[in-house]
Chains A and B, each alone.
Chain A
């Protein structure tokens, strides 16, 4: 398989590449002074930083094609970047590569309400799509917490989820068509304006492929009519396991809530300090259950869910009295990450997904592990999907604390796999979870992933080294396990 070593770029490489790319792009679309490159050295996972050789900011599809043709010809790796809000280091630059920002692709090109579709450029913000069609009664369903800032191109690259995907699906369920520039600079259409396309389902394959198969330059998303009514119930529990069980009990009634979210006590207290939503800060856990549909359906479901929550042993139930309060209740949940940032100088977010029935067990184990490592953990998660987001609180200035945090994070992911889940539900593997891929997959499976990448990118130039580990890396990681985190070859570069 093609592997990309990452030699330190020789002096003059940067200048030469910058010059070459300026012959293809407007001058201001090429950045090659180290101080201009600094803002691109990391994405939302700021613990990992690298300066790219050059940053390009193309604004037309033709420019993207030109850059790809040049880079493919010169065998220069390219990392695509949307808004840079990703949490797994998927847009971490390569020191010997080009970082391609798609920020200038920020236009909504077409809205077709009868077909309930919008054609947008990849740099359009997630929330901007819903805002553009809101007055007509529509919205774009996937709503990651970062939706104010994150771009739709990045959402496709990571198969982003959000608070409402149990009922309305992930990005993969809500897009119809992509325009993709291949590694050789060719433009291909994937998917269609209909509900399916001939041949293999490349639309699904591209979604969540972390920029490793092509550069997405246009997306057609599905629009949904806004539900007539939405009501939010907030239930307190004095025990995390009871709250976890309540999740399964709600699903067992045959009701699929629009959103089903949970926060533990530490997360609740942090967000309450942040947004003053009136959360029950004494509860061990609070469960958010949103019901949506026609007013008749919502009222009927509300009665049923109330009963189930009471039978599940909740200590308090509150129903948002109006739309304003509903938004307020949600605002804390959506602000859980920045709120955690106020509890601690740094935090590290984990993204394991587990079968719902294991929620109670896994939360108990996570708490034990936190004690073992001497680190505090706040839990916020998409309970309906079993998608956990433990936030490990640490101080990066204390020697060894980040390394301990990373190791604990890895252990939590391995626990997710052990109970039948996955290391990442919606944030992607990136550089962050690449070692845990060795735990989740067999070498034959990883080899199949590499072969698939090779089908699109034979010289491994698109975001190389991310998402799928090499077999030798896994062998090394196995050795690391034996040595309890002490690297066997400390001189080897770690991501």
Chain B
């Protein structure tokens, strides 16, 4: 279990000193996602010591916990009350923490149907690059007081501040889930997933791989039964294991040394003509590609399809791994970095080389 331990004062002191000395810090939790982003050096700052659930009242649908809280502990506390994290976060390892999960901003199979990590974040406490502990957002469902720094922190890979506490909206666990399979090629699957998503069917996960489309439906018993009858696919017995494998990248597709790209395109975009193995998720919005193709070719094609490409795993991590930003947009990023972390001590270069 994550112990209840508040060390925010100590963390602020470490950050203040690092800022004064200009020492870069490498923020980390369980290091389960340290492969993600660019290679970045710095004095390690372990946030696992700042842990524990601060507040959880199931009828409020809100949980607040410190960054170092283990994701498994958080999820088991929710499960005891019949609730869950709606974005189905990938752990990608045993020691995943809440802080790392939010800083990386990754979401699981439910993302297109329930929302992303950022959609469930209601508030954060962060330590900025001056070593100040700041609170933004809160524990209520709606809050438009001040700029939305809570959601800005999601996926920023710690480059704007050290996330030390997060409040999340949570959801009831669906009463029932079922998975069906349909044999069809990728182009047809992409069209089919989007046609279904345009109908009031309680779809909660989609994946196409190796000529098979998998669809998960979730909801009340009556709602799931109706959806099964309507979609009329072949039932998959080990549905839960399948989605777990896709979420955790333990699915056989990901067991490979080739560079793995995450291609984010409009959901209904036609299949890209890049060579390699594909696994398509999120109704077509998230496509995994294993390929040795050069980065510029991948990026050019992805951009032409209205999307962006991330070198998710492997390959050369000294180059940009996230899709390069246009100059105007990059300037805004650099200005924001300076606004939060003027000494540029937090995870320098992890997101973009000059950030």
Asked if B336 CB lies within 8 Å of chain A CBs, one says yes
Residue among A295, A354, A454, A455 with max Cβ neighbours from chain B (10 Å): A455
Contact between A387 and B141, CB atoms less than 8 A apart: yes
A351 to chain B, nearest CB (A): 9
A226–B282 CA distance with the chains assembled, in angstroms: 20
Q: Is A420 an interface position by the 8 A CB rule?
A: yes
CB-based contact B118/A204 at 8 Å: yes
**Counting CB contacts under 8 A, is A297 at the interface?**
yes
**How many residues in B have their beta carbons less than 8 Å from beta carbons of A?**
86
| B151, A205: Cβ atoms closer than 8 Å | yes
Give CA–CA (A357, B225) in the complex, Å: 34
Contact B328 A114 (CB under 8 A): no
CB of A84 within 8 Å of the partner chain: no
- Bound together, the chains give a CA A365 to CA B121 distance in angstroms of 29
Chain A residues lying within 8 Å of B60, measured Cβ to Cβ, are: 248, 251, 355-357
CA A332 – CA B265 in complex, angstroms?
42
Contact residues in B for A426 (Cβ distance below 8 Å) = 142, 144
Q: Are A300 and B222 in contact (CB under 8 A)?
A: yes
The verdict on B259 contacting chain A, using a C-beta distance below 8 Å, is no
Instruction: Judge if A166 is at the interface, Cβ distance under 8 Å.
Output: yes
- A421, B134: Cβ atoms closer than 8 Å: no
- A445 and B197 in contact, given A200-B336, A204-B151, A248-B59 (Cβ under 8 angstroms): no
List, in ascending order, chain A residues with CB within 8 A of B62's CB. Answer: 355
> Is B145 a contact of A440 with CB atoms below 8 Å?
yes
Max count, chain B CB within 10 A of own CB: residue among A170, A193, A382 = A193
Report the Cα distance A384→B310, complex, angstroms.
38
Q: Known contacts A256-B171, A297-B220, A385-B142; decide if A204 and B148 are in contact (CB<8 Å).
A: yes
Stretch among B13-21, B154-162, B239-247 lining the A interface? B154-162
Given A353-B140, A449-B147: A192 and B152 within 8 A (CB)? no
Which of chain B's residues have a CB closer than 8 A to the CB of A480?
A: none
CA distance A300 to B226 in the complex (A): 13
Q: A300-B220, A420-B140 are in contact. Are A451 and B340 (CB under 8 A)?
A: yes
A190 CA to B82 CA in the complex, in Å?
37
Q: Is the CB of A445 within 8 A of B146?
A: yes
Given contacts A115-B268, A422-B140, whether A196 and B116 have CB atoms under 8 Å apart is yes
Measured between beta carbons, the chain A residues less than 8 angstroms from B191 are 114
Contacts of B352 in A (CB 8 A): 199
Which residues 380-409 of A have a CB within 8 angstroms of B? 382, 384-387
Query: What range describes how many residues of A lie at the interface?
Result: 35 or more
Q: Among A116, A207, A382, A441, which residue has its beta carbon within 8 angstroms of that of B198?
A: A116
Q: Which B residues touch A385, using CB under 8 A?
A: 140-142
Contact mask for chain A residues 158-186; partner B; CB cutoff 8 A; 1 contact, 0 none: 11010001100110110000000010001
Taking CB atoms, residues of chain A closer than 8 Å to B340 are 448, 451-452
Contacts of B146 in A (CB 8 A): 429, 437, 440-441, 445, 449, 467-468
A219 to B227 alpha-carbon distance, docked (Å)? 33
A416 to chain B: closest residue by CB: B140
Report the Cα distance A62→B226, complex, angstroms. 51
Among A161, A194, A297, residue most surrounded by chain B Cβ atoms (within 10 Å):
A194
A137 touches B199 (CB 8 A): yes
Query: A138 near B: Cβ within 8 Å?
Result: yes
Q: Which residues of A contact B (CB under 8 A)?
A: 112-117, 137-138, 158-159, 161, 165-166, 169-170, 172-173, 182, 186, 188-190, 192-202, 204-205, 207-209, 213, 225-228, 248-249, 251-252, 254-256, 293-297, 299-301, 353-357, 382, 384-387, 420-429, 433, 437, 440-442, 444-445, 448-449, 451-456, 467-468
Q: Give the interface of B toward A (CB within 8 A).
A: 57-62, 82, 105, 111-112, 115-116, 118-119, 128, 132, 134-136, 138-149, 151-152, 154-156, 160, 171-173, 175, 191, 194-195, 197-200, 202, 219-223, 225-227, 264-268, 282, 285-286, 306-308, 310, 322-326, 328-330, 332-333, 335-336, 338-340, 351-352
9 contacts between A and B (CB under 8 A): A172-B119, A194-B306, A194-B307, A199-B351, A200-B333, A296-B225, A300-B222, A441-B146, A453-B147
List 5 other contacts, CB 8 Å, given A158-B144, A354-B140: A115-B266, A172-B148, A386-B140, A386-B142, A441-B146
